[in-house]
Structures are given as structure tokens and as C-alpha cells.
Amino acid sequence: MPEDAPGVAPEAAEDAAVADDPRPFRRGVGIVLLNPDGLVFVGQRLDMPGAWQMPQGGIDGGETPAQAAVRELFEETGVREARLLAETRDWLSYDLPRSLSTGRLWKGRFRGQTQKWFAFRFTGRDEDIDLAAHLPQEFCTWAWQPADQVAAAIVPFKQPVYQQVFAAFADLVRPAA
């Protein structure tokens, strides 16, 4: 992560997710956008300074996961110049910490997310990335980073999913030098 992106401290034990939560997972998609060097696009969230993540979002009614990934990629990055490379075989899930799952996100209806992940090769120019292409804007700034740096800097409750994603796409991403 850039130097101004401090790591996020682990959640306190009292904020831990509850494994036997009966609420469903929200279905969504995640996007690994790779530049020609195998570096990963990561954006700093506009609503959470210091929090960086890859593009992701929900699946709208009538959409396939692949269609949702293309839509979310454009909405969050302005990118249309990308080629689909791969998708994860399985859906990958994470539980939200209690502080986020009890009403702050999705009106408390979901315990977390289950996501299908897609890898895309960016075929445009960096100037084609437009974080304000669709409102509301998700990210305030962005960077290309090695996959292991992205996985290490994500909020702790998403780290296992990011590690699984990068393991699934290991032949596509470039590790830190």
C-alpha cells in the first residue's frame, strides 16, 4: 500500500463475527484488475480513509455474476478496457464484524458476503481509470500493487478471502519483488 495507507488494527474480540449467525450471506462479486505487469488495482475507500480494497459489489436482479463483475468494474473504476481472464470455481465468503452487520450495512439483513471473484486484464491506459465515472463514487484514489501487499493491507475480516482469491489466480498476479 502507499505509505499514507496505514494498516487497519484487528477488531476487538467483542466485535468478532458470530459463526452461528442465522442470517444469509449477501451474494456479490469481486474483481481482480491486473495491469500488464501483473500488479493489482486497489482503491482507497472514499467513506473509510486508510481502507483499501479491490472493486466489489452486489449482483442485481437478472444479472449473472460475470455481468455484475463487468458492471461493478465500470461503476467503481470507469474501466471498460478489460479482458476476462478467469473466475474462481467456488464462492468465497466472509462474515462481517458485529459492528458492521447489526444495521450499518445492508440494514442488518446479511451476516456477510459470499462472492464469485473474477480476474480481468486491464487493456487500457492508466488515464482511462475514472473513479468518478459513476456516482456515488467508491474510491478517492488508487494504485497498482503486488498481490501480497494488497492481501496484507485489507481489513482483517476480508484477509482470508483475499488470500484465497490470490491463490486461485496465482499464475496471473505478480508477487512483491
CB 167 within 8 A of CB 147: no
- In this structure, is residue 75 part of a structural domain? yes
Has residue 106 got a pLDDT over 90?
no
For residue 147, the domain's CATH number is 3.90.79.10
Q: Up-side HSE of residue 91: CA atoms within 13 Å toward CB?
A: 13
- In this structure, is residue 134 part of a structural domain? yes
Average pLDDT estimate for 151-177: 88
- In this structure, is residue 142 part of a structural domain? yes
Task: Work out how many domains the chain is built from and give that number.
Answer: 1
Which is more confident, 76 or 102?
A: 76
For residue 43, give its domain range. 24-168
Averaged pLDDT score across all residues of the chain: 86
118, amino acid identity: F
- In this structure, is residue 154 part of a structural domain? yes
- In this structure, is residue 42 part of a structural domain? yes
- In this structure, is residue 124 part of a structural domain? yes
Has residue 85 got a pLDDT over 60?
yes
- In this structure, is residue 18 part of a structural domain? no
Total residue length of the chain: 177
Percent of the chain surpassing pLDDT 90: 64
Q: What pLDDT, on a 0 to 100 scale, did the predictor assign at position 113? A: 87
Three-state secondary structure call for residue 159: helix
- In this structure, is residue 15 part of a structural domain? no
